[in-house]
Structure 1
Amino acid sequence: MRIGVLALQGAVTEHIASIEKTGAQGLPIKRVEELDGVDGLIIPGGESTTIGKLMRKYGFIEAIRAFADQGKPIFGTCAGMIVLAKRIAGDEAGHLELMDITVARNAFGRQRESFECDLEIKGIADPVRAVFIRAPLIEEVGPDIEVLTLYKDEIVTARQGHLLACSFHPELTDDYRLHQYFADMVEDSMTANL
């Protein structure tokens, strides 16, 4: 099983390290054609506007939409969640517009308001350590969205079929169980597509 990490910006090596702890192979994705060689894709944190611009410049918007249309799982973390969202609060245009959520950018404040906490995530037995850095949150969800985590009554992890999104940075801790959850999604999709 090969899981790609979009390598335009963000903590790419940390995501790859977490993927490899699950037993899957992690690969940086720098060119559109490299998507053909992976079974799942992680869109990491960074700055969503910059990631969106780089995705447009290098042809990733249509390529990742086509990847999603094949039923291949995609996991967006922090800014990656914003990139996946159909809607961004404040009427800003979405990027991939794949996941039926409305997200608010920097909902938890600026860099100095960054924090860590333990979160209960549906489908994972014990609390997961989460690092929030200028984190977005999910303000609204469509009917097909499964909410996996609330933090202070705000949605911070959600799933829609083969799409997964979280507000925080799971790659910045030693806890790789959310990556394992995603790897299981990828494995399930590979089995379903046999």
Structure 2
Amino acid sequence: MPPTVGVLGLQGGVREHRELLEHLGARVTLVRAPSDLAGPDGLRVDALVLPGGESSTIDKLLRLFDLFEPLRVAIAGGLPTLGTCAGLVLLAREVVDPAPGQRSLQVLDVTVQRNALGPQVDSAETTLATPLGAVRVAFIRAPIVTRLGPGVDVVGTHAGRVVGARAGGVTGLSFHPELTGEPAFHSELISATGIPPRGRRLVPQVRI
């Protein structure tokens, strides 16, 4: 069987992540309840994606559907995880400008500032130099990383600001590789499962 990657399916850019992962040969399941993530025999996914969207809304939905603590435990326990945009905010240990009552999973030792790269009308595509090579990505109301904890590596910068960070198997990105069909980070996530993927389809691409 190919690796099973869970995509948090409560709000945000779920479809684009799913299509890109399926193109890369992964089996995708949407995580909308604790039982989608784990069962009596353990985890039901080999890796996890936290998509972009509205971070405070996703936080509220996580708690409404009793997913907050199961997600935190799974990621802290070593589940390979990729968070994009709002996903980075959810992963961060600290959010300097949270919405009222907003919480984060605190599984990536960084501090983030929400919406730091401007409003949605300033959304743009650009090419970044990363440890995985040059990648074409999109920024939409993107956060930035303002502090890196010990053992956290930078995986992307833009205009002198940190827009990607990684510690162990957890990677948080300010940007959206899924909207441009950029496969590098999703391929790395699949590789972290240790299970070879099978099958290929056309890379999806969504222009902003």
Using the size of structure 1 for normalisation, the TM-score is 0.91
What is the 5 A alignment of 1:77-96? 77-90=84-97, 94-96=103-105
In structure 2, C-alpha distance between the alignment counterparts of 1:174 and 1:101, rounded to whole Å: 27
1:34 maps to a residue whose letter is D
Match of 2:77?
70
Q: 1:69, 1:175 → 2: CA distance?
A: 27
- Structure having the higher helix fraction is 1
Counterpart mapping for 1:163-178 below 5 A = 163-178=170-185
Question: In the alignment, what sits opposite 2:130?
Answer: 121
Matching of residue 187 in structure 1 with residue 194 in structure 2 = yes
Describe the SS at the equivalent of 2:194.
Answer: helix
Which is bigger in relative contact order (C-alpha 8 A, separation at least 6)? 2
Q: Tell me which amino acid in the other structure corresponds to 1:59.
A: D
Distance 2:164 2:14 in 1: 20
Secondary structure at the aligned position of 1:95 is classed as coil
- Tell whether 2:129 aligns with 1:102: no
1:126-162 CA-to-partner distances (Å, cap 9, x unmatched) read x111100000010111011011111111111110101
Contact 1:86 1:100 in 2 (8 A): yes
Instruction: Say whether the 8 Å CA contact 1:24–1:183 is kept in structure 2.
Output: yes
State whether residues 97 and 114 of structure 2, in contact with CA within 8 Å, keep that contact through their aligned partners in structure 1. no
Q: CA deviation at 1:90?
A: 3.5
Equivalent residue number for residue 153 of structure 1: 160
Q: 1:61 to 1:136 in 2, by over 3 A?
A: same
Identity among equivalent pairs (%): 38
Offset at 1:172?
0.5
TM-superposed deviation, 1:91: 6.6
The change in CA–CA distance for 1:184 and 1:109 in structure 2 (over 3 A counts) is same
- 1:2 alignment partner AA: T
- Three-state SS of the structure 2 residue aligned to 1:10 is coil
Q: 1:27-70 CA distances to partner (integer Å, 9 max, x unpaired)? A: 11111111121111101000000000000111111101121233
Preserved contact between residue 105 and residue 136 of structure 1 (Cα < 8 Å)? yes
Structure 2 SS opposite 1:53? helix
**What secondary structure, in the 3-state scheme, does the structure 2 residue paired with 1:164 have?**
strand
Question: What's the counterpart of residue 26 of structure 2?
Answer: 24
SS at match of 1:187: coil
Structure 2 stretches lacking a partner, 5+ long: 39-43, 196-208
When the two structures are superposed, what TM-score results if normalisation uses the length of structure 2?
0.85
Partner of 2:68: 61
Name the CA shift for 1:8/1:142 in 2 (closer, same or farther; >3 Å): same
From 36, 41, 49, give the equivalent of 2:48. Answer: 41
Q: Which amino acid in structure 2 is aligned with residue 132 of structure 1?
A: F
The aligned amino acid for 1:157 is: G
Q: How many residues are aligned here? A: 186
Deviations 1:59-109 (A, max 9, x none): 111101121233111111000100110100137653211110000000011
